A = this chain, B = another copy of it.
Amino acid sequence: MTSPGDPCHEPRACDGALARAFGFLGKRWNGVILGTLTSGPAGFSELRRAVNGISDSVLSERLTELAKAGVVQRSVHEGPPVAVVYQLTPAGHGLLPAMNELTTWARDNLPAVAEL
């Protein structure tokens, strides 16, 4: 489980899978994009508006990465007009329990004005 790129190593270490989860979800925007998609599929423009501050090129890059990781699926709805929507895959939906736990914890422990 330990590799040169793994932030944990023996003897005392955090779980390797947990470290990967933080590396993946902690990458800027990834968590917020996935959090936005928990309420249902969205088009590119809708996502860009929801993820305040992201640029078109970065959103496009992140969606490609999330699709490659198997958590987001891009679907083309034949038109007219043609529509492209992004939605969580079953693996992406598998994050819901963790996201719900994180949301509950943050409501109790991270004030909205926290600057860390």
Interface residues of A (CB under 8 A from B): 1, 3, 5-9, 11-36, 38-39, 42, 46-47, 49-53, 65, 68-71, 91, 94-95, 97-99, 101-110, 112-116
Expressed in whole angstroms, the Cα–Cα distance for A105 and B97 within the complex equals 9
Instruction: Decide if A24 touches B106 in the complex (CB within 8 Å).
Output: yes
Chain B residue nearest to A28 (CB atoms) is B26
Indicate if the CB atoms of B31 and A18 lie closer than 8 Å. yes
Q: A17-B103, A20-B110, A22-B30 are in contact. List 17 more A-B contacts (CB 8 A).
A: A1-B112, A3-B113, A5-B115, A6-B112, A7-B51, A8-B35, A9-B52, A12-B39, A12-B46, A12-B50, A18-B32, A20-B112, A21-B31, A21-B105, A26-B26, A68-B116, A91-B109
